[in-house]
Amino acid sequence: MPLTIIHKLQPHLDLWAPRLLSILRVIVAFLFIQHGTQKLFGFPSVAEPPGPELAQLWLLAGVLETCGGLAILLGLFTRPVAFILSGEMAVAYFLVHARENVWPILNGGDLAAFYCFMFLYLAAAGGGAWSLDRLWRGDRKAPGGFLSAWEPQLLSILRIVAAFLFLVHGTEEILGIPWPPDAEPFPGPDLSSRVGIAHLIETVFGPLLLVGLFTRPVAFLLSGEMAFAYFLSHAPRDFWTVINAGEDAVFFCFVFLYFVARGGGPWSLDKVWRRSARWGFQKEARAFTTG
């Protein structure tokens, strides 16, 4: 039934995909800018530098995140700015986080990994329907950029990365994988609370999103779960996501909503399934006409 509904809504989803891309771009930029203003102005909270050896890089990162984030927010020079910010996040991940632990959820680099691949996708896809780039061009076709031909493949890569970052939040609490090496032994899952049920949902449905199977209905379910998680657990603490620890939840909510409209991209089991079904139908049609 959900698949039938998604199929009937497909024309509307295709229409809304460029608009949802713009909404996703604005949300991501808003989340991202906060990290820059923390570094430069101590707002909305003071961010502690990683150490004197990285002080200059820290200041440069603050400028890039504030100014570049504002450009992404407005959709101005989206592709080149997003490409630069993707590179900055890759450098940040390997300089600050990767040496702590191999798992992003344990080394504190899951957000850096997300921003890296999200901006890489924007470098290919552009700012969407609602952007200053689009307003400036009018109705003219968007300039391609050297990554634009790879937009479908980068969509699949973004889906895989987002699903992996999402999945481990569930498996950590349900299966104890990954588990902090210096923590107490894994006590086992706790399914007596709504948080435990949420982690179970993440563990069950995250792999489907990872392989791109039933992408649209699964993404719709998980987007709703993340919206509930944010407003129940994070929003009451503070408005700013860098303070209320809800940045992950907001990102997952909107990127999953985008997958509802765009699907899982060419590297997904949905795509393989549709291709096989189409080939089987064509084979039956040829057998019928020649039989």
102-153 residue pLDDT tens: 999 999 999 999 999 999 999 999 999 999 999 887 645 555 678 999 999 9
DSSP-derived secondary structure for 85-139:
HHHHHHHHIIIIITTT-SSHHHHT-HHHHHHHHHHHHHHHH-S-SSSHHHHHHTT
pLDDT tens string 226-267:
999 999 999 999 999 999 999 999 999 999 999 999 999 999
pLDDT tens string 169-214:
999 999 999 999 888 899 999 998 899 999 999 999 999 999 999 9
pLDDT value, residue 3: 55
Q: Retrieve residue 264's tokens.
A: 């899982």
Residue 43's SS3 state is: coil
pLDDT tens string 104-116:
999 999 999 999 9
- Categorize the per-residue pLDDT at 281 as very low, low, confident or very high, splitting at 50, 70 and 90: very low
Of 128, 127, 97, nearest to 111 by C-alpha is: 97
Sequence-distant (≥ 6) Cβ neighbours of residue 62 within 8 angstroms: 36, 37, 38, 39, 40
List Cα–Cα distances, 2 to 9, 208, 214, in angstroms: 11, 15, 10
Measured over the CA atoms of residue 209, residue 222, residue 98 and residue 181, the dihedral's sign is negative
- Categorize the per-residue pLDDT at 49 as very low, low, confident or very high, splitting at 50, 70 and 90: confident
- Categorize the per-residue pLDDT at 5 as very low, low, confident or very high, splitting at 50, 70 and 90: low
- Categorize the per-residue pLDDT at 277 as very low, low, confident or very high, splitting at 50, 70 and 90: low
pLDDT value, residue 38: 94
DSSP-derived secondary structure for 186-242:
P-----SSHHHHHHHHHHHHHHHHHHTSSHHHHHHHHHHHHHHHIIIIITTT-SSHH
Are 74 and 131 within 8 A, CB to CB?
A: yes
Are 169 and 209 within 8 A, CB to CB?
A: no
pLDDT value, residue 288: 33
Domain ranges of the chain: 12-134+147-290
pLDDT value, residue 285: 37
Of 27, 13, 11, nearest to 215 by C-alpha is: 13
pLDDT value, residue 7: 62
pLDDT, mean over the chain: 89
